[in-house]
Amino acid sequence: MVSKAKSAKGTSADTRGTGDELHQQAGGSHPALTTNQGVPVSDDQNSLKVGERGPVLLEDFILREKITHFDHERIPERIVHARGTAAHGFFELTASLSKYTTAKVLTEVGEKTPVFTRFSTVAGGAGSVDTPRDVRGFAVKLYTKEGNWDLVGNNIPVFFIQDALKFPDLVHAVKMEPDRGFPQAATAHDTFWDFISLTPESIHMIMWAMSDRTIPRSLRMMEGFGVHSFRLVNAKGQSTFVKFHWRPRLGLQSTVWDEAVKLAGADPDFHRRDLFEAIQAGNYPEWDLGVQLFTEDQAAQFPFDHLDATKLIPEELVPLKIIGRMVLDRWPDNFFAETEQVAFCPSHLVPGLDFSNDPLLQGRLFSYLDTQLSRLGSPNFHQLPINAPKCPFANHQRDGHMQQQVPKGRVAYEPSSLQKDAPYEDARRGFRSAPVEEAGGRGRVRAETFADHYSQARLFYISQTPFEQAHMASALVFELSKVETEHVREAVVGHLRHVDEDLARRVANGLAMDKLPAAAKARAPVIEMKASPALQIIGKMKRTLQGRVVGILVNDGSHAKTVAALSKAAESAGATVKIVAPKVGGAKLSGGKTLVADGQLAGTPSINFDAVAVVLSAEGAGQLGKEAAAVDFVRDAFGHLKAIALDDGGKALFDAAGLETDKGVITASDAAAFVEAAKGRFFEREAGVRTLA
């Protein structure tokens, strides 16, 4: 049960351990940490708050100096989320929340609100690839009648850290190591895992990061989360906590690791291209918006603290209520002017919404605005078309770098009496903060309710299917195998022992450890929670070809009717069909007509598709059996657990690849069976094609 806020006096400053304990873990002798002015820092783990669970104070000059410096480290590229892709669309409300909020965007059913949604990787630069193992940003700018609302989140509902003071440290750890400038867009290196080994609050997020959630098949097939608890405020000033979820109507789907690695080389822009082609074809991606609503009293009964960003609220505890849908239906006219110049800030709210005291959110409210000032170079960045509200706006903020408007009149202050049309405050319609009472002594503290770092990490792991658990164990082995420092590897496995002993043993075996390292010191007991199937991917995958892509490999002499039947069946099921041939001009099929290819074999491997068919003449099979790209086409499709349709010539190529058929390998003449098989992947095949931890 979450305790009520206490005085800061006498509370442990950090649930991980004191600074001295952390230094002992790190080893060596360390100079005192100071501000840029030389002032020694007593606590570099927690922001200055009112009480354990209260808001962060603006007077925290240590937080402001650290984050301000971090926000201004890079120009003009974003420090994080630099690699991004975005699209225009709309949000349509389908169920009113008028009982909970006055926000029109959440109360006027049927109203369509314009949106601009940007997806991004976190760690890599703007020139990195689309498909690394990485968290994905999921940021939505809603141009509401009452101003812009930015719902700025990720495709994962939790985060690595509990306090914004640690955000610069997290990003510095995950970015390229400063003495060598690599690795790019990767967590598999010493500095990241060193930070994680000393930051047990990150272990829950690590479970998500090592899961298939961070190697999505498509931006159209991943969830989005607001991460933090926010407040809805009604006309009476009463507030209700809310968490926001975006659910893709195409369902969840991820790649397998070998596939993600090969995609990075074959098509660095795979996700960007996939979203572009879907919108251009009129296959507009859609998401449902769901909310979890709960009161302060309900929150007090949770076995965790909802203000802790490393925690989620299981749907079995607070069910999801679907209230609307988002459709992305228009690609930007200019990538730089829109996708690059769009500025998201969690502090952009509309009346009827408010913040919680989540200390990570509290720091983001300052950091994002400061970052935009640095990146876009002007306090007038809101005047850029992509950032400008679509409702009327007026204030007395004039001048400044890159002022694009021409304000008129002699009044630039409020209140005033000299100008009848001067903007004035609006007590009736204006933004009002929830009237929440706060109490407690000032201090750099962390609530005792933030001390449990392992229970939800365990919840996430035990909720996965055996296939997903194997992927997580293998991902941990891969990542830690890139870590040169032995004690860091051992420390991480020590944390994993609190998540699951079998998981820790599998990872230790994969790293050739003679014995399991000692379990890490836990500040709070691990609570055994009931598994949540809602946290799976494989268990939630939709058996559908809607939004998927089927590739058909042909050569001269391929049977025209078989190709036509497979194409028709796949397209009727909602898939996009692409023809692959040795030459981009296409192939002359059995009927004598040339079928134009969408891709040339060497440049269009099977990793581009969700399922494949191989239709070849005997002569064509003989030729392609000696072509590495053709052999890899079927070998990779099989290894990536996809459905494969084969005619006699295709079977000859399949045999040349040294493969054995299973229930996912279908006779090409049975188009209906192929379409049904292509709606999913064959995970039971995986144990026979690769070694997993």
Residues belonging to the active site: 81, 154
CA distances, 508 to each of 100, 196, 197, 466, 566 (Å): 49, 17, 15, 18, 46
What is the C-alpha separation between 49 and 8, in angstroms, rounded?
A: 9
Alpha-carbon gap, residue 238 to 234, rounded angstroms: 6
CA angle 426, 428, 432 (to 5 degrees): 85
Contact 354, 230 (CB under 8 A): yes
DSSP state of 517: P
What is the C-alpha to C-alpha distance for residues 126 and 133, in angstroms, rounded to an integer? 16
- As a whole number of angstroms, the distance between CA 228 and CA 98 comes to 21
Kindly list the distances between the CA atom of residue 320 and the CA atoms of 153, 244, 260, 302, 317, in Å, as whole numbers in the listed order.
Answer: 17, 9, 31, 16, 10
Structure tokens at 470: 């194997």
Cross-sheet strand order for the sheet of 549-553: 599-600, 576-581, 549-553, 611-614, 644-646, 665-667
Q: How many residues does the chain have?
A: 693
Peptide bond into 183 cis (omega under 30): yes
The whole-angstrom separation of Cα 592 and Cα 450 is 70
Q: Give the integer Cα–Cα distance in Å for 210 and 121.
A: 15
Q: Does residue 619 sit in helix, strand or coil?
A: helix
In the chain, how many H helices and how many E strands?
18, 20
CA angle 535, 540, 542 (to 5 degrees): 160
Specify the long-range contacts of residues 420-428, CB closer than 8 Å, at least 24 apart.
Answer: 422/396, 423/394, 423/395, 423/396
Q: Which of 323, 372, 316 is nearest to 345 (CA)?
A: 372
